[in-house]
């Protein structure tokens, strides 16, 4: 006697059983593809509408709160971040060269309060580490990508940071400000200097960044090298 396949077994069930089975499969599929907490598809790049909604709902924490009605600050898929008060750089008059295999002694660094001076002048060819004005806290299902802005880039300013801000990350993003042009560049405290894009993970991470052993940049608020 020929055995019935799974389809045949499914057809022998009562309508109630078949409906229950379909509902269970739909729920499993929904959990894989849709985040109930964020109300966005898993793996999606957040749009301006979703960024605005999740910032208002405190799923993405940004302190101080940005002006979400400004189309200058909130782009189609990113939100601007501003230059903060803390900057740190290596004083070229104190060290002839840097050995990247060893920690750089603290006395070679110079720290600066950008807010106190209202602006920061970056000499040609120099790299300065600074913070954003905003503090960001991400949920355990989302990562952030830091991107530069076109106008400063056209003047020679290259703004970089960590390539990925891990799920659950909390702190002020560190920025590497590199003047690749031929003349000094001046940037001002509170000036929009970069932007962050948000990507939803396929599932919540097993362990958020701040809980991992040996992390260096958790809860950072000052420029670090």
The SS3 call for residue 84 is strand
Q: Taking a C-beta distance cutoff of 8 angstroms, is the pair 90, 129 a contact?
A: no
In DSSP terms, 157 is beta-bridged to 179
Residue 6: exposure state from Cβ atoms within 10 A (0-12, 13-18, ≥19): exposed
Residue 30: count other Cβ atoms within 10 Å of its Cβ.
Answer: 11
Q: Which residues contact 161 (CB under 8 A, 6 or more apart)?
A: 146, 173, 174, 175, 176, 194
Residue 118: count other Cβ atoms within 10 Å of its Cβ.
Answer: 10
The question of whether 69 is a catalytic residue gets the answer no
From 3, 30, 160, 176, the catalytic residue:
176
57 — alpha (psi -120 to 50), left (phi > 0) or beta? alpha
CA dihedral sign of residues 92, 180, 186, 103: negative
Catalytic residues: 176
């Amino acid at each position: 006697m020929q055995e019935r396949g799974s389809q045949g077994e499914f057809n022998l069930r009562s309508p109630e059983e078949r409906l229950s089975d379909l509902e269970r499969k739909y729920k499993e599929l929904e959990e894989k593809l849709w985040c109930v907490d964020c109300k966005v598809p898993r793996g999606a790049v957040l749009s301006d509408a979703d960024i605005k909604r999740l910032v208002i709902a405190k799923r993405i924490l940004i302190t101080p709160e940005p002006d979400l009605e400004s189309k200058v600050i909130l782009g189609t898929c990113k939100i601007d971040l501003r230059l903060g008060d803390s900057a740190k750089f290596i004083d070229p008059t104190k060290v002839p060269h840097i050995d990247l295999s060893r920690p750089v002694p603290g006395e070679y660094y110079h720290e600066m309060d950008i807010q106190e001076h209202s602006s920061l002048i970056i000499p040609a060819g120099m790299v300065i580490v600074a913070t954003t004005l905003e503090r960001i806290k991400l949920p355990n299902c989302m990562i952030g990508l830091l991107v530069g802005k076109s106008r400063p880039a056209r003047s020679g300013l290259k703004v970089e940071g960590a390539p990925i801000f891990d799920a659950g990350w909390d702190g002020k993003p560190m920025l590497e400000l590199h003047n690749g042009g031929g003349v000094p560049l001046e940037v001002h405290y509170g000036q929009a200097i970069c932007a962050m894009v948000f990507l939803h993970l396929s599932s919540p991470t097993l362990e958020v960044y701040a809980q991992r052993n040996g992390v260096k940049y958790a809860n950072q608020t000052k420029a670090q090298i």
